[in-house]
Amino acid sequence: MYKSKYQPAFKVMLARCALNGDSSYSLAKEYNVSSGQIRYWAQIYSIHGPSGLISPLIDASASIKLSILNAMHENAWSLGYTSATFKLSSPGILYRWQQDFVQVFYIVGNKTLMLMGYLDCIPNQKVEK
């Protein structure tokens, strides 16, 4: 399980400040946390409330990762919105999952992936069926 660098109460406090109109840049400067991270916590807070920043992050199996990637693709969600919705540690982890599935695509081949249902989650791939 992933161990967070920041205490949940700290995340909640900064998320609330950002959602109440404080600039993420000024908060970042004051608390030495990146402004992007503060905006991400605010997004999680706006979707899940304070429990989204307190409860543990998911430990995703390959099938859960694929389900999340498919949800992102089917709903045309951004990396940030998808990762906040599923309470992932950061949008970067979701990007890494995408790259992992793309690598599997090239190693295994598109016919096998179509049969396994993986092809739909790989964005920007043109494949003849």
Q: Are residues 34 and 84 in the same domain?
A: no
Based on the domain organization, do 66 and 114 belong to the same domain? yes
Please answer whether residues 100 and 84 qualify as being in contact, where contact means their C-beta atoms are separated by less than 8 angstroms.
no
Angle at Cα 39 formed by Cα 65 and Cα 33, nearest 5°? 105
Q: Which residues in the chain land under pLDDT 50? A: 1-2, 112-117, 119, 125-129
Query: Is 108 a domain residue?
Result: yes
Q: Is the overall model pTM greater than 0.95, yes or no?
A: no
Check residue 27 and give its pLDDT. Answer: 96
Looking at the fold, whether 92 and 69 belong to one and the same domain comes out as: yes
In a domain, residue 89? The reply is yes
The pLDDT assigned to 63 comes to 79
- CA atoms within a 13 Å half-sphere pointing along the CA-CB vector of 33: 19
- Confidence at residue 97, expressed as pLDDT on a 0 to 100 scale: 86
Specify if 2 maps to a domain.
no
Coil, helix or strand at residue 125: coil
pLDDT, residue 45, reads: 92
* Within a domain: 3: no
Is 69 contained in some domain? Answer: yes
Q: What is the pLDDT of residue 129?
A: 39
In a domain? residue 106: yes
Q: What are the tens digits of pLDDT across the range 12-36?
A: 999 999 999 999 999 999 999 999 9
Task: Please indicate, yes or no, if residue 35 is contained in any of the structural domains.
Answer: yes
Range of the domain at 89: 62-121
The answer to whether 121 and 97 have CB atoms below 8 angstroms apart is: no
> Could you tell me if 33 and 75 lie in one domain?
no
Determine the Cα angle at 29 with ends 3 and 95, to 5°.
45
pLDDT at residue number 126: 46
CA angle 122, 123, 129 (to 5 degrees): 65
d(CA 40, CA 117) in angstroms, rounded, equals: 30
Work out how many domains the chain is built from and give that number: 2
